[in-house]
Structure 1
């Protein structure tokens, strides 16, 4: 029991741990993990990923999303977004979605981490942070996944694209656009180039 208490003292409330992280403090890590989960000292959020819950006035706080995804991927290189981010672009998308998209270089598929659904999409390239240009390109890449009418949204995307910095948009299209997005934005960028010629 003393060994278990020692392990418990090393765990920081609110922090996410991989099973492998705990092997340095426990000779019987699986037994200790089971005991800590049973006692409510740890919460299993995914296979091999655990949260030391942080108590707040409202109950146990969920894990920080970035920490959770980093522990799951064993990688710091990823981008968190959601289709809800498109709504801020003003292109007619208004639906709310209850999942987070994770662009990364390791995993593909939908995984439930804790109580939240994550859509992991393996990509060779993605930016470090979200920009209007990236979101517009990403929207066109994913327009078929959205609940709104495709033709209405694309018409408004075209208008929005004309209001953005054309060189930044071209970079985003070149770096992150799929075949459809590259074709769609090539017309828009060509029209902009003719206007400024």
Structure 2
């Protein structure tokens, strides 16, 4: 028996329990192997698994174009051990057309479990603990405005210019949605700022 055949036979038991396109934690695979670290090392060496981060593995899925990277939602859910999070790239603020133009090479992840910078599958993620954030399907333009104002000091933009544009275009946002986003997700500073704009008559009377 050749060395490659020997390695393949040793890793047979574990490889039977991993499915293409799925992300796994080492601890999830322990029940399927008497020597999980050795088998994982063998599977990575054989290209049957990819190591995404410490203790995290992915069995590649292939299509006509080649290997498909892991689904980001699955990747983050496995890392956090929680499906409740909101991942976004700050470049999304550019869609508000308030003068932001920067492109960012990392995603921010609001969650209840982890805080700090982590690299997963060669991608940078900025995990931030947040008590409250919307589900991805509930993110509105008004929420993005509030969140941008919350994080404006972290952005590579001219703050004064962005604030001036936001103040002038406040009436272009849905008043009820903006009020809800402000109440539910606005920081103290953001609430104070927007309320000051409103008190100056920068919105239609009574809409917020």
TM-score w.r.t. the length of structure 1 is 0.92
Partner of 1:174: 183
How many Å separate the matches in 1 of 2:98 and 2:14? 51
Alignment pair present for 1:10 and 2:21:
no
Match of 1:36 among 30, 37, 43: 43
Q: Which has the larger radius of gyration?
A: 2
Post-superposition shift, 1:193?
Answer: 5.5
Q: Which runs of 4+ in 1 moved over 6 A?
A: none
Tell me the matched-pair count.
197
Bigger shift: residues 118-127 or 36-45 = 36-45
Maintained 8 Å contact 2:85/2:109: yes
Could you tell which deviates more after superposition, 156-165 or 184-193? 184-193
Comparing 66-75 with 177-186, greater Cα deviation is found at 177-186
Moved more, 150-159 or 56-65: 56-65
Match of residue 148 from structure 2: 139
Q: Matched residues in 1 for 2:9 and 2:104: separation?
A: 46
Q: Unaligned regions of 5+ residues in structure 2, if any?
A: 1-7
Deviation at 1:105, TM superposition (A): 0.6
Say whether residues 1:62 and 2:62 are aligned partners. no
Q: Does residue 157 of structure 1 match 2:166? A: yes
Task: Describe how 1:15-30 pairs up with structure 2 within 5 A.
Answer: 15-30=22-37
Structure 2 equivalent of residue 106 of structure 1: 113
Tell me the CA shift for residue 196 of structure 1. 5.7
Give yes or no for contact 1:3–1:26 (8 Å, CA) kept in 2. no
Moved more, 1-10 or 182-191: 1-10
Kindly indicate whether the alpha-carbon contact (under 8 Å) linking 2:13 and 2:33 is maintained by their aligned counterparts in 1: no
**Aligned counterparts of 2:188 and 2:206: Cα–Cα separation in 1:** 25
The corresponding residue for 2:205 is 194
Coordinate RMSD, CA, aligned: 1.8
Distance of 2:80 and 2:207 partners within structure 1: 45
SS of 1:50's equivalent in the other structure is strand
Q: Give the structure 2 partner of residue 51 of structure 1.
A: 58
